[in-house]
Amino acid sequence: MVRGGADWEVTPLELSALEGGGMPHLSPAEDGGVILSWLAPAEPDEGGVAGGGGEGGTTSNRLSRLRVVRYDPLSGFGEPRTVVQRDDFFVNWADFPSVVEVSPGTWVAHWLQRGPAGGYDYGVRVATSVDQGTSWSEPWIPHEDRSPTEHGFVTTWADGEGGWGAVWLDGRRYADGDHGPATEEMTLRTRAVSAGGDAGPEQELDARVCDCCQTDVALAARGPVIVYRDRSSEEVRDIHVVRWEEGAWSAPRAVHQDGWVIPGCPVNGPAIDARSDRVAVAWFAAPDDEPRVQIAFSQDGGATFAPPTRVDDGSPLGRADVVLALDGSGIVLWLEETRNGEGELRLRRVDPDGSLGPSHVLSITRSARASGFPQILPLDGETLFAAWTEASDEGPVAVRVAHMELPR
């Protein structure tokens, strides 16, 4: 069910290919368009475009096709295409594939693939299309490590010069290796790829991070800003950023000292958006057992952040996303639990001075994991594109999409 307040003009969009799918991802395309990717059920007569059959191990998850479509605000949806179909996807409700445009007509896709050891042995695969998703290259592995451990929660981004970068959570220290004995610490790593396709060296950005919270990246005036959940030796899991500035990555720095001590991963990563030097980060935290969704603004490219503003309505489940409007305000999307145990996707506009607009219900969904992580993306000016998973007790039902005009 899609809703909208009297001052929110919400327009549902229809595409039959989205039925039965889940785990949508949004990224911007040239000329104000949107690239929407999602996981869909397998088609018995359709082979993989980039790789084909199994590579050891199987998955019982029915979502085993990565699909992509371009949306244009004037002409609507293009032709949906299949990036890859496999029987060995590693499918995690919180760790989803993506397709990103890195230059006009050139798209980069990533997904996760199981290794022969099974369990948490999985790695990242990347493929490139130079014809807007019609055909795809052979996939390759961006991480140098081949240990039977976790490699996921990937974010890719265009560098603005025809190349691209990727950041991921890397579990190589959960196994013995060149680094020494296993320490069971997840690390944050990145790699850049030039416009010509040459991959640079791998770099470790943080030696100890939260195990299974998503990463996110925004391109600010001075370069990319990576946001993620850190993990201290005292099990404080607060949100941190790493910035590219003057040819190097900065040291990790907290967006805010929430002081959330939690012995395990909350599976609730942060989101970021940027316009020049203005940056906004939204995230979930629960210090002192008080769950909250917050937003913090930076006016200097993510070097420093103002104190956060709480945006939820009292019972948040998190799964936040954020975009920056032209006037510098932030639009936060999150999942709020209702009294009957369902979930509502809610939106709220927040000014940098902390002033809150009213919250609006975008859609009613399930609070369970199958509803995944909703996404929003600016189309132009004051128009947003939203995508989310409609779910039942059995799992994903369909990807739902809508565009909306922002109120003021």
User: What pLDDT shows up at residue 91?
Assistant: 87
Verdict on whether the full-model pTM lies above 0.85 = yes
- Residue 166: the pLDDT is 98
pLDDT at 350: 97
Closest CA to 387 of 36, 4, 5: 36
Q: What is the pLDDT of residue 1?
A: 44
Tokens of 25: 């991802």
pLDDT at residue number 408: 61
Q: Are 239 and 229 in contact (CB under 8 A)?
A: yes
pLDDT per residue over 116-168, tens digit each?
A: 998 889 999 999 999 999 999 999 999 999 999 999 999 999 999 999 999 99
Q: In this structure, what token pair is assigned to residue 286?
A: 């629960």
pLDDT computed for residue 4 by the predictor: 46
Spell out, as residue ranges, where the chain has pLDDT lower than 50: 1-6, 47-61
pLDDT of residue 59: 33
- pLDDT for residue 395: 81
What's 199's DSSP letter?
B
Helix (H) or strand (E) holding 351: none
* Domains of the chain, each with CATH number or no CATH: 9-405 (2.120.10.10)
Per-residue pLDDT reduced to its tens digit, 209-268: 999 999 999 999 999 999 999 999 999 999 999 999 999 999 999 999 999 999 999 999
Q: How many angstroms from the chain centroid is the CA of residue 184?
A: 24
CB atoms under 10 Å from CB of 44, counted, come to: 6
Greatest CA separation for the chain:
60
What's the pLDDT score for residue 407?
Answer: 72
